[in-house]
Amino acid sequence: MKEFNQYINGRFVKSTSTEVTKVINPCTEEVLSLIPKGSVVDANNALDAAQASQKGWRSLPAIERANYLNKMASIIRENRVFLAETLADEQAKVIGLAQVEIDVTADYFDYNAGWARRIEGEIIQSDRQKEHIFLHKSPIGVAVGILPWNFPFFVMARKVAPSLVTGNTCVIKPSCVAPNTVMEFVKLIENIELPAGVLNFVLGSGPVVGNALTKSPITGIVSLTGSVFAGQKIMEAASQNITKVSLELGGKAPAIVCADANLDLAVNAIVSSKVIFSGQVCNCAERVYVEESIHDEFMERVAKKMSEVKVEDAFSGNNPDMSSMVSKDQMEKVAEMVEFAKKEGAEVVVGGTRSSQFDKGFFYQPTLLTNVKQNMQIIQEEVFGPVLPVMKFNTLDEAIALANDSEFGLTSSIFSENFNKVMHASQELDFGETYINREHFEAIQGFHAGWKKSGLGGADGKHGMQEYLQTKVVYAQYK
Ligand code: NAD
């Protein structure tokens, strides 16, 4: 069994707290590692180190900062199999998908390194003679990144890479549920000679370590990927020092399937989106609206496809579609939501219970629900599991209204072969992301941002990188 320590000011140090959290393999329920339940002192030590290294780091040419990101990318590629296995082990991500996450993370570091020579300001015309108005883009200072368990490695890069290239120093708080891959990465990059204090990792709970990192006056920006609830807590804590927040939160993605859709494509995309990583993906289809005239055929095909989903151990050589859910808590939450939906009148077409074929682990069956109504919990709240509720619609505007009737605004999708319909929907859907004739995943050069309760600000691409910059105006008068 492994043990991980805090990484503060360029070295691994023991937490000032002696309490520990066990990290569990969700398929086998064995304990994989022990991590400290970090303390407020740990959080503050990491912030002090990040602050002390700030001046030196921001004064380096951006291209030198970028070189470190390229080194991180190379190290990830050199250790890609080990990292993927660690990830699959700690969160039951099917090994093929775990490998994709590792490989995309390496690309993410390289992509952000590419911004080094492209961070630009502006020169604005003055109303005065002999004056230039310069807009400079400056780092914010110390950036705090708080990670979820579902894509813990990729989301780590989403915080670290844009922070460092723009000249911020950084403190990362991994999720207690899946911290191992991130901490193995920290060990691997120990020898790249990153200046001490530039990048720190503090393990511990959200309410203790996450809260301390958020409310400190040292912190310049907090970027969270997680639930709406954690986002609300972070906004409260950040209000103390008017600290900037960037929040990527939960979703309840609608998929609209029109009668003129390519049905094979729609069925395959929606089912695979729902079962990939057991539905624990923020932008996977969480509810489907299907046009009445094709409803029965759609349900028949989805039911067949969902019954054929291969559910196995994350390391199975049988190329499974999904594995265990990440934890007992997560599985029980999904089971409770399905039971509640049944009480409210939903009918189970496929699945609807925990998988009985496994002695160990937290496996839940791919589940298809019908007879659901717009006001039910299963349509309004994020399930974050392999559960697909389906409703009918008659007109596209009705479908758009149902899709928009949600407090979330992260992702949406529409399936239709009619250009006018998809363009209309893409403008009318109140979501930060709309996919036409496909489901997630997002591109690293795009912009991943939730509307409404799904978030504030966003990540990826040029606009995600710019989250970590602040603007200074210099009025330069000369004779
Ligand atoms: P979570 O909110 O339980 O935890 C996320 C992180 O926030 C953890 O590191 C946790 O320790 C920390 N945290 C919790 N309370 C805190 C507090 N008071 N102060 C500071 N930090 C605190 O979320 P999770 O269960 O790890 O992840 C699943 C959620 O994340 C889902 O809702 C999912 O939709 C969302 N998510 C969103 C995106 C996106 O890009 N929008 C991506 C992945 C996951």
Query: Could you tell me the distance, in angstroms and rounded to a whole number, from the CA of residue 33 to the centre of ligand 1?
Result: 21
Number of separate domains in the chain: 2
Among 154, 173, 225, residue to substitute to test ligand 1 (most atoms within 8 Å of Cβ): 225
Ligand 1 binding pocket mutation candidate from 249, 441, 444, 451 (most atoms within 8 A of CB)? 249
Atom 37 of ligand 1, nearest CA residue: 249
The 3-state DSSP class for residue 247 equals strand
Whether 403 and 315 have beta carbons less than 8 Å apart is answered as no
- 94 HSE (CA, 13 A, CB side): 20
Verify that 34 and 171 share a domain, yes or no.
yes
Nearest ligand 1 atom, CA 454: 41
Tell me: do 118 and 216 sit in the same domain.
Answer: yes
- Which residue, by CA, sits nearest to atom 42 of ligand 1? 282
Q: Measure 419 CA to ligand 1 centroid, in angstroms.
A: 37
Mark whether 18 and 161 lie in a shared domain.
Answer: yes
Same domain, yes or no, for 193 and 293? no
Contact between residue 379 and residue 391 where contact means Cβ atoms under 8 Å apart: yes
- State the distance from the centre of ligand 1 to the C-alpha of 184, rounded, in angstroms: 21
Indicate the Cα dihedral angle 56, 58, 59, 63, nearest 10°. 120
How many angstroms separate the alpha carbon of residue 224 from the centre of ligand 1? Answer: 7
- Report the CATH number at residue 28: 3.40.605.10
Q: Are residues 230 and 265 in the same domain?
A: no
CATH number at residue 355: 3.40.309.10
Assess whether 310 and 389 both reside in one domain. Answer: yes
Q: Where are the alpha helices (DSSP H) in 198-294?
A: 211-215, 228-238, 263-275
Pairing verdict, β 31-36 and 2-3:
parallel
Q: What are phi and psi of 84, to 5 degrees?
A: -65, -40
68 C-alpha to center of ligand 1: Å? 28
Atom nearest to 210 CA in ligand 1: 20
The greatest distance separating any two alpha carbons of the chain, rounded to the nearest whole angstrom, comes to 82
- 348: which 2 tokens? 């189970």
Torsions phi, psi for 32 (to 5 deg) = -95, -40
Assess whether 181 and 299 both reside in one domain: no
- Distance (Å, rounded) from C-alpha 112 to C-alpha 158? 9
CB-facing half-sphere around the CA of 382: CA atoms within 13 A: 24
Q: Which atom of ligand 1 is nearest to the CA of 146?
A: 9
Query: What is the best residue among 158, 224, 283 to mutate for testing ligand 1's pocket, by most ligand atoms within 8 Å of CB?
Result: 224
Spacing, Cα 329 to ligand 1 middle (Å): 15
Give this prediction's pTM: 0.97
Instruction: Give catalytic residues, as residue numbers.
Output: 248, 282
Helix, strand or coil, per DSSP, at residue 87: helix
| Domain-located, residue 449 | no
pLDDT recorded at residue 217: 98
Position in ligand 1 atom list of the atom nearest CA 175: 9
Name 288's bridge partners: 255, 390
The verdict on residue 149 lying in a domain is yes
Pair 189, 219: CB distance under 8 Å: no
**Who lines ligand 1 at CB under 6 A?**
146-151, 173, 175, 205-207, 210-211, 214, 224-227, 230, 233-234, 248-251, 282, 382, 384, 410, 448, 450, 455
Nearest to 388 by CA among 438, 427, 354, 337: 337
Structural domain contains residue 13: yes
What token pair was written down for 387? 């559960």
- Regarding whether 223 and 279 lie in a shared domain, the answer is no
Are 358 and 463 members of one domain?
no
* 222 and 304, same domain (yes or no): no
Which domain, by its residues, includes 458? 2-249+454-477
Task: Give the model's pLDDT for residue 405.
Answer: 98
- pLDDT recorded at residue 54: 98
Which residues, 6+ apart, have CB-to-CB distance to 156 below 8 Å? 105, 145, 147, 172, 174, 182, 185
Same domain, 141 and 279: no
pLDDT tens for the chain, 479 residues long, are: 899 999 999 999 999 999 999 999 999 999 999 999 999 999 999 999 999 999 999 999 999 999 999 999 999 999 999 999 999 999 999 999 999 999 999 999 999 999 999 999 999 999 999 999 999 999 999 999 999 999 999 999 999 999 999 999 999 999 999 999 999 999 999 999 999 999 999 999 999 999 999 999 999 999 999 999 999 999 999 999 999 999 999 999 999 999 999 999 999 999 999 999 999 999 999 999 999 999 999 999 999 999 999 999 999 888 899 999 999 999 999 999 999 999 999 999 999 999 988 889 999 999 999 999 999 999 999 999 999 999 999 999 999 999 999 999 999 999 999 999 999 999 999 999 999 999 988 999 999 999 999 999 999 999 999 999 999 999 999 99
pLDDT at 318: 87
Work out the number of other CB atoms within 10 angstroms of the CB of residue 108.
26
Kindly report the protein residue whose alpha carbon is nearest to atom 20 of ligand 1.
210
**The ligand 1 atom nearest the CA atom of 151:** 43
CA-to-CA separations, 49 to 10, 173, 210, in angstroms, rounded: 9, 15, 17
**Helix, strand, or coil here: 80?**
helix
CB 57 within 8 A of CB 169: yes
- Residue 182's identity, in one-letter code, is V
Question: Measured in angstroms, how far is the CA atom of residue 334 from the centroid of ligand 1?
Answer: 17
